[in-house]
Chains A and B, each alone.
Chain A
Amino acid sequence: MQNWINAYSAMNLRFLFKGLLVTLEISIVSVILSMIFGSILGIVRYTKIPWLSEIVGFIIDIIRNLPLLLIIFFVYFGLPSLGFKPDTIVAAIFAMTVFESMMIAEIIRSGIGAVNRGQLEASRAVGMKYYQAMWHVILPQAYKNMIPALVSQLISLIKDTSLATIIVTPELMQHAQVIYGQNANYIVPMYLALAVLYFIVCYSLSIISRIIDRKMA
């Protein structure tokens, strides 16, 4: 019992909380960046620009089929040899963004594909340019349909940030390891704390998504 009380000391909890903030920071920045890049890539992929769309599609397929861990290693240990030396948080954000952009690009592409073709024709028929039709008519409908898929991708992104532990990024999982590294009796209490924290963050996201979905329906 005493072990559990000590494990959850104010100092340890504060340390865990700091890790949680880094996890959220990595997640939020990666989500924003990968939404932007993923949208651009997804639109390029959908638009079927000669050459470009095929090349983009090829890159997406490659990266999507690599383990995220390998991308993290590559960014952290491989990029320095190319002259770019990211710190651990930047490396984690970089790797997550590369990986998630590809996942989101595929979601966006199929989301745009699911919007009725007549919507684009009606937009073009009144003289809107392609990008105007995309921006004002097609994408708003595509994103609306994609909210569930995007949120579940976002949730797996948050969970995947724990992989950044491997390059000693000071995120939630790594901080928990530091704590139970000092005292093996803290292992189970820390695992429990991790489970609760990841669950709260991810589950509240899925609840929010459900509310948005219902509001917009």
Chain B
Amino acid sequence: MSMIEFRKVQKYYGKFHALKDIDLEIDKGETVVLIGPSGSGKSTLARSVNGLETIQSGQLIVNGRDIADKKTDINRIRTDVGMVFQHFNLYANKDVLENIMIAPRIVLKMNEDENKKNAMALLDQVGLADKAHNMPSQISGGQAQRVAIARSLAMKPRCMLFDEPTSALDPEMIDDVLGVIKYVTSQSDMTSLIVTHEMGFAQEVANRVIFMDDGQILEDDKTDVFFKNPSNERARQFLSKIISH
């Protein structure tokens, strides 16, 4: 069963063709890493999945519902699809605990006690129970990203999108965040799409790796095949560049 399915998807920003004829299927429970040079359309692809970007043609089926269909309730889909951003985007006017509790409260109408118990358990999981009452400005980037992950998980999503979750972090904080993401992807029923430049991490967690360039998917392989012997020339060049760093 597929969780996410792109069928001949085209996305334009004005005249600029950002996603070209994307065909992609991600199964339930799969962890897929998406790589490619800057500007290749990775964010655009990931953000289409939860409707933050609208596509111009083709079909995009998420958890059985067509995103492009006007009758689809996009907010319903978004409760199933969590997203973690490069710059965390914690709500600056709310403390850490409220950041996690607000969406379950107003979107899922979750009972307040259950919500709080759930939020504290998540904070505990990401190792930040003691920061519950800090404001986002009072915690480090690595901590903020772990809170952002907890915030997404509080909605009990079936699918998670990570858009360069560690690219804005100081090196010493990256491992903590990757550790949390690894734990999230290890849950058997969680589907994940991860945009990242952390190749070691990709090799560890990904079932599949996709390489994009210039709005197209140029390579889509099982992880070991991708890293051992990518068939696409540009993918090979990209890998050798990024790994020699």
Q: Does A124 contact B (CB under 8 A)?
A: yes
Which of B52, B87, B106 has most chain A Cβ within 10 Å? B106
User: B155 near A140 (CB under 8 angstroms)?
Assistant: no
Having A124-B52, A141-B92, one finds 14 other A-B pairs with CB under 8 Å, namely A116-B89, A116-B92, A118-B85, A119-B92, A122-B85, A122-B89, A123-B91, A124-B78, A125-B78, A126-B78, A126-B107, A127-B76, A132-B106, A140-B93
Interface size on A, residues (CB 8 A): 18
Q: Is B79 an interface residue (CB 8 A)?
A: yes
For residue A144, CB closer than 8 A to chain B, the reply is yes
Quick check: is B44 within 8 A (CB to CB) of the other chain? no
Chain A residues with Cβ under 8 A from B106's Cβ? 128, 132, 136
24 contacts between A and B (CB under 8 A): A116-B89, A118-B87, A118-B89, A119-B91, A119-B92, A122-B85, A122-B90, A122-B91, A122-B148, A125-B52, A125-B81, A125-B83, A126-B79, A126-B152, A126-B155, A128-B75, A129-B75, A132-B106, A132-B107, A137-B91, A137-B94, A137-B102, A141-B93, A144-B93
Taken together as a complex, chains A and B put the C-alpha atoms of A122 and B148 apart, in Å, by 9
- Measured between beta carbons, the chain B residues less than 8 angstroms from A119 are 89, 91-92
Instruction: Write the residues of chain B forming the contact surface with A, with a CB cutoff of 8 angstroms.
Output: 50, 52, 75-76, 78-79, 81-83, 85, 87, 89-94, 102-103, 106-107, 148, 151-152, 155
A-B CB proximity, top 10 nearest: A122-B89, A118-B89, A126-B103, A127-B78, A127-B79, A125-B83, A127-B107, A140-B93, A127-B75, A137-B91
Residue pairs across A and B with CB atoms within 8 Å: the count is 60
Bound complex: CA of A140 vs CA of B102, how far in Å? 14
A125 to B149, CA, bound (A): 12
Interface residues of chain A: helix, strand, loop or mixed (majority): helix
Using a CB-CB cutoff of 8 Å, which residues 122-154 of chain A contact chain B? 122-129, 132, 136-137, 140-141, 144
What are the residues of chain B within 8 A of A132 when measuring CB–CB?
A: 106-107
Q: Interface 1/0s, chain A 92-124, versus B by CB < 8 A?
A: 000000000000000000000000101101111
Which residues on A sit within 8 Å (CB–CB) of B103?
123, 126-128
A125 to B52 Cα, complex, angstroms? 7
Question: Could you tell me the distance in whole angstroms from the C-beta of A29 to the nearest C-beta in chain B?
Answer: 29
Nearest Cβ distance between residue B12 and chain A, in whole angstroms? 19
Q: Which residues of B contact A123 (CB under 8 A)?
A: 91, 103
Q: Report the minimal beta-carbon distance from A128 to chain B, rounded to whole angstroms.
A: 6
Whether the Cβ atoms of A125 and B50 lie closer than 8 Å is yes
